[in-house]
Amino acid sequence: MGEHDEIIEHHDDEEMEKRKTRRSDSSSPFEESLSSDRDAQRSTQPSHRLLAYSDALISIIATVMILPVAHTKFENNEELKESIQILLSTKIAVYLMTFLIVTVAWAAHIRLFQVIERIDDTLALLNLACMMLITFLPYTFSLMATFPNNILGILLFCACVIVIGLIQAVIVVYGFSRPFLLNEHIQMSENQAYYRRHILEVIMRVPLMCFFAGVISFIFFQLSYVLLAIVIFMPYISQCLKWIRNKAIGGPVDDTPDSMLFYTYLPNEPLSKERVESFTDGVYAIVATLLILDICEDNVPDPSRVQKEFDGSLVAALKEYGPEYLAYFGSFATVGLLWFVHHSLFLHVTRATRLMGLFNTFSLAFVGGLPLAYQLTHEFPRGSRNELEAIQISCVIIFFAALFQLAMWVTALFSERETLHPYVRYGGREHAFMFAKLSLYPCVALGTFFFTCILSRFSTPFFHLMQIAVPFAFLLLRLLVRVTLAVLRCLFWPKPEVANVPAEDDLHLPFNDIVT
């Protein structure tokens, strides 16, 4: 009997094990899906490093296109004005178009990764493929500039943009298939399908435009260049068309089921402030590096020449390069102070908008031209007409680089409650100091330009000494602004009674209300 009971107990144990196995098998698909989601989520990471790498790569590829322009050699007997006009129609046009197109791709990258905030290995590899094609775009523009009547450059550019758009569409579909990769706003939304459809529609607009440009290039290739230029301003054209449609219908049409923060094409659409700063820092760092690379390449004398012509005296040999060293320090001071002004501006900014990003792009495009200004200002003999024209070109580049920074500030003031810290809003002391700081370089560049028109003996060493002296003006600026505000307050605003003094925040009216 004991043995029989042991057999029965063993049989019961086997039955229980089978039941547990069947129960676990019946629930395995759900549990496996949950565990796979947990494993997939554990394999993700924040996208900070990927975005930093992308920003660095795009800022480099956008800025180095100035090298073919900056290294153009001019003869002393040539008219600089005519040479620059030839450059404007070829190399400078290619540089500006490349810079703007690459920054459009960078802005699209910002908006895409404001939706997707976490990445895994698949997204990292897709992003690398996208970066590879973006870095290939300058080569297509070089082909277009060198062979303007050949459509191969246009076709290569359009093919790259179409593939970039398809890769971004795959990133969107992949991201929405794994909601834990998305930002919290979209994760919590009940309209994820609408978000996905809307973002895909916006992403595919540029590839479709390039597809039509490629087809039209076989018929009338000049029109295809116009379509490519429209790509840069497509968000603003789209917004204008939407505004016209709303006015024709009789009221605004809200086609969004809930508040959409991204992919709206509105001028005040938020961009990542950190990424705007990172990209801008990259451009300024590369421009400053290009200046010292020129010094290292062109201003190191040959040892045999030092031995023969200067009796082995390196100091005597280096004296010949004095103007180049002065030009370097003046140009670096300009690059550094323009970055300093941009840094001061974004210390006060809480949120960057799309329109501010556009003005920032224009400013950086002119900052990228500073290596050309550096080359021109020590290229020609002292007292020649070309020397004055080189200074004038440098003044124009500096003026527009600083002017678009001022435009960013004015744009921020029009929506100051959303874009600026309260202490720097219109009417405060910090606002006045920031306005003076942003106005300094446009005024100096414009004044120098007019001096070169009046004074025929205005030389490049004096111009570079002015560049080096500008930092001291920044040191005195805050003191001058404080003194001026104190004098104006004493003359025009008598001191109010303590009981009737309103709160300081009440004194700061929004800038757009004052303009209205």
101, 231, 109, 112: which is closest to 183 by C-alpha?
112
**Residue 375 contacts residue 106 (beta carbons within 8 Å):** no
Ranges 161-170, 216-225, 321-330, 484-493: which has the least confidence: 484-493
Q: How is residue 217 written in tokens? A: 């290039």
Domain ranges of the chain: 43-266, 273-493+504-515
Instruction: Note the pLDDT of residue 256.
Output: 52
**Residue 184 contacts residue 114 (beta carbons within 8 Å):** no
First to last CA, the chain: 103
What are 444-456's pLDDT values in tens digits?
Answer: 888 888 888 877 6
Ranges 60-69, 191-200, 341-350: which has the least confidence: 60-69
What are 103-161's pLDDT values in tens digits?
Answer: 888 888 888 888 898 888 999 999 999 999 988 988 888 788 778 788 898 899 889 99
Q: What is the DSSP string of 141-176?
A: HHHHHHSTT-THHHHHHHHHHHHHHHHHHHHHHHHH
**Residue 270 contacts residue 261 (beta carbons within 8 Å):** yes
Instruction: Note the pLDDT of residue 194.
Output: 86
Q: How is residue 163 written in tokens? A: 């593939």
- Single pTM value for the model: 0.78
pLDDT at 305 exceeding the cut of 60? yes
Long-range contacts of 407-413 (CB under 8 A, 24+ apart): 407/359, 408/345, 408/356, 408/359, 408/360, 408/363, 409/345, 409/434, 409/435, 409/438, 411/353, 411/355, 411/356, 411/359, 412/348, 412/349, 412/353, 412/356, 413/511, 413/512
> C-alpha 61: how far from its chain's center?
12
Ranges 23-32, 147-156, 223-232, 471-480: which has the least confidence: 23-32
